[in-house]
């Protein structure tokens, strides 16, 4: 008999200075959102980071909130959390696609974001995925953000500038 698929999780990144993470959550399904946030908070704490939590009305507002916070706040990374359950209309597709697209566009601008917006067929699927003792998708989203923060710190060069350094200005 063939074994089921296995999932590999990267080791938690280590930081000299703990990152500051903003967790942005849409608590439309409050108990699901609370579990997602609990998982995210635990992951950030385990990595030595600190966090703040803010709430938005829905998943569509999460990218805008993160964009504002990235421009105006002092955060190293962001975690987007929420839950979209398929209904009878195409609104589900719009919310899923546009919230994901918005987060992706922010990420491509260099903002470190973990996407923990659940997109599911029913409440039971959401509950399993949100459970911090189960699939812990909130913790997974926080881990993604932390890995991006670690990568951005690793790739940042302190001497990177305009092509010259002050000690070379007088040479020539």
Reading the block at residue 66, the tokens are: 């993160």
Residue 53 structure tokens: 């939590």
List, as own/partner pairs, every contact residues 65-73 make where C-beta atoms lie below 8 angstroms and the sequence separation is at least 24, other chains included: 65/24, 66/22, 66/24, 66/103, 66/106, 66/111, 66/113, 67/102, 67/106, 67/111, 69/22, 69/24, 70/106, 70/111, 73/22
Q: Is 91 a catalytic residue?
A: yes
Nearest by Cα to 62 from 115, 109, 140? 115
Instruction: Return all residues near 41 (Cβ < 8 A) that are at least 6 apart.
Output: 23, 51, 53, 142
Total residues belonging to the chain: 172
Report, as residue numbers or ranges, the catalytic residues.
91
């Amino acid at each position: 008999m063939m074994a089921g698929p296995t999932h590999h999780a990267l080791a938690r990144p280590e930081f000299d200075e703990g990152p500051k993470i903003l967790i942005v959550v849409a608590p439309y399904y409050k108990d699901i959102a609370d579990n997602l946030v609990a998982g995210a908070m635990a992951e950030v704490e385990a990595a030595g980071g600190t966090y703040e939590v803010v709430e938005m009305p829905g998943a569509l507002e999460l990218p805008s909130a993160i964009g504002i916070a990235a421009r105006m706040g002092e955060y190293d990374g962001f975690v987007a959390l929420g839950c979209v359950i398929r209904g009878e209309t195409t609104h589900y597709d719009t919310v899923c696609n546009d919230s994901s697209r918005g987060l992706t566009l922010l990420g491509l601008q260099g903002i470190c974001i973990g996407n923990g917006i659940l997109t599911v067929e029913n409440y039971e699927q959401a509950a399993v995925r949100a459970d911090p003792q189960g699939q812990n998708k909130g913790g997974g989203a926080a881990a993604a953000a932390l890995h991006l923060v670690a990568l951005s710190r690793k790739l940042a060069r302190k001497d990177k500038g305009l092509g010259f350094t002050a000690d070379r200005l007088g040479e020539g």
